[in-house]
A and B are shown apart, each in its own frame.
Chain A
Amino acid sequence: MLLSYGRAFAALELAASARELADSAERESHPAGTPPTWAASVMTFGMCQVEAYHSEEEASRAIIREILTAAAEAMVARGRFVLVIPGGRTFLRPSRLLTTRFAPESLLHWHVFMTDEHMKTVDGGLGPNAVAALREGGWARLLEETRMPQSPFHIAQVPEAGGSRALAQAARKYEEDYHAALAGTAGADLVIAGIGADCHVASILPGRAGWVNPLLGETRCFAEVGYPEEYELPVQKRISITFRGLNSARRVVLFCLGPGKASAVEHVLRARPNPRTTPASFALLRPSKLVCDLTCVSSVLPD
């Protein structure tokens, strides 16, 4: 369609008005690095703000915004940024965005930890979550490209053998690394955690039949845990962030994608918060955010 010359002026004039507005003080209220996005729905449950996006891609980008915002604040305030990312596969998409699009020099003062790791080595001393993040999440390529003197990506070195004692040693080492990164501050700048189908968060699974998950009362931020046989998990022994680790963070964002999580998300948001039976419901008891796609919250969307 050919556009008469005069008619094209309307758009030019509107764009000029938008430019003037963008130059005004309003622009100052939007920190750099937080471009606008369109959340399809924003709701509040307890102290948790829920942002649902049209697609998994949109939600993944929204979580990147959360990281960038927290990083910007932390770098200004403390000159370092401590981030804890989920160990599961859901976070691989945001990880790829982060590792392919982020200016590597900006990572020099970052410390990235994972919420949990399984005691099942698949590559030397590396557990399956670390291997997935390195290979599929793009961290290995990023670290290789940037050749940083010290890797910002902290990996829990799970033992190849040695049972519970060796696992406890690995957890203690991870805890030491974490506190070294915190440099005297109480907790991470940002913890991102997933929600499991049974409402677990990180590797903090619901208690069963009188068994109370020790990670609830643990005083460390990262600790080892061995789940009883009746849980029938692929890997019983793990290292996980604890409730203390979650609650001491400056900012906590839960992240989940897909209709498979809808039932768990509904239960977490609707049920009375009880971290013993519904660990992820801790998010309703402290200022937090849930970032997800619309299919995750289909059952709690307002009519």
Chain B
Amino acid sequence: MRLVSGTGGTSILIIGAGSVWRGKYRPALERLETAAREQGREIRVLVAERRSSDHDPLVSDWFCIEDDGDRRRLDDVVGSVNVAVIATWDANHIENLRMLDGRVPVVLIEKPLSDSLTEARSALVDLDRWGDRVRCFAVDHYLSKPAIRYVLRLARSGKLQEMVGQISEIRISIREERGIEPGREILLDHGILEDMLIHALQMLIELLDGHVAGELAISGVQTASYDGSPIRGETSARVEMRSASGIAVAALVGKGQLDEKLVEISGNLAVLRANITTGRVDLLSGDGTAELQGEVEDDAYDVILGEAIDVAAQLR
């Protein structure tokens, strides 16, 4: 599916035809497309990628390539797009946001916003300049995973504290069996898995928001660098923090380790354990284990795109 023809529906532009598009957005869009068709709506999807310019083979430009091989310059189609997803290399996100120049009303930037905090701040200037014309969102897909959505609902309704009691500790572990791939070592300049750490920190911030006033203070960082590790592709980082109200929080992230993606929230009554991979959420207490949510298929990107389409519809 590269182009769903039709008018009157929502047009979604994906900038970047790499693994994020192939592995995450395309499957979700195919499901959304089917659902939309059943409801008599249409979703039009364009995928833009860098190719050599028509005029100069040494200069590249963004094009939308259609199934029959025809290509259209991005500038020629961007005006008719409702939602743009910037799914390129982290360092190019801001550059591509500027390329859109406020012409797309809803923009999603795939994680993380940038590999530079300074550059990310400077992007706010552009957003201010575009004013109400553009709604820009950062995509942290972990927040849309079924297990995390469930826990966030509990947290925001006050039920989380009813279940676990006074929260004393939150632990987040995001570890993957797959190691750092050759050529991606640039991500590890500081021995920290920046990408995965940001996911863990964002989840902590969202989880604590409903309960704790004040900021998180980092009390310790332990890292293992890729270069120094004799295990191929392995690296990890552990960051310990404390909230203003004294909750101990810790994030352990790693690649090339066991597959484990868990959030554990401990209170004086019980421990809530959310398995991000399977979607299952359990409450562990002295009475045993209670299953709050069973295993659920991951629909994080369906939810993200669905919300973006809704926002775009409201802006029309």
Residue numbers of A with Cβ under 8 A of B are 1-19, 21-23, 26-27, 30-36, 38, 57-58, 61, 64, 68, 71-72, 101-103, 106
Contacts and interface: CB of A to CB of B under 8 A. Distances in A.
A131 to B, nearest CB: 26
Given A5-B124, A5-B137, A12-B113, A101 B192 contact: no
B78 interface: no
5 contacts: A2-B137, A7-B205, A12-B113, A14-B201, A103-B232
Interface of B: 108-109, 112-114, 117, 120-121, 123-124, 127, 136-140, 143-144, 149, 152, 171, 173, 190-192, 194, 197-198, 201-202, 205-206, 215-216, 218, 220-225, 227-232, 234-239, 241, 252, 254, 256-258, 303-304, 307-308, 311
B120 A9 contact: yes
Contacts of B230: 33, 68, 71-72, 102-103, 106
B221 A18 contact: yes
B128 to A, nearest CB: 11
Given A5-B124, A21-B218, 12 more contacts: A2-B308, A3-B140, A5-B137, A8-B138, A10-B205, A14-B218, A35-B223, A36-B224, A36-B236, A57-B258, A103-B230, A106-B230
B21 to A, nearest CB: 18
Nearest to A97: B231
A234 B58 CA distance: 74
Nearest to B202: A11
A23 B190 CA distance: 7
B232 A18 contact: no
B191 A22 contact: yes
B190 A1 contact: no
A27 B258 contact: no
Contact of A36 (B197, B216, B222): B222
A130 to B, nearest CB: 25
Contacts of A3: 137-140, 143, 202
A137 B269 CA distance: 43
Nearest to B97: A5
B144 to A, nearest CB: 5
B224 A34 contact: yes
Contacts of A12: 112-114, 117, 120, 198
A104 to B, nearest CB: 10
A25 to B, nearest CB: 12
B202 A30 contact: no
A38 B224 contact: no
A19 B190 contact: yes
Contacts of A5: 109, 113, 123-124, 127, 136-138
B231 A15 contact: no
Given A5-B124, A68-B231, A18 B239 contact: yes
A36 B258 contact: no
Given A5-B136, A11-B201, A35-B229, A19 B192 contact: yes
A16 B112 CA distance: 13
Contacts of B304: 1-2
A27 B188 CA distance: 14
Given A18-B218, A101-B256, A1 B149 contact: yes
A2 B304 CA distance: 6
Contacts of A33: 224, 228-231
A27 B215 CA distance: 24
Contacts of B192: 15, 18-19, 22
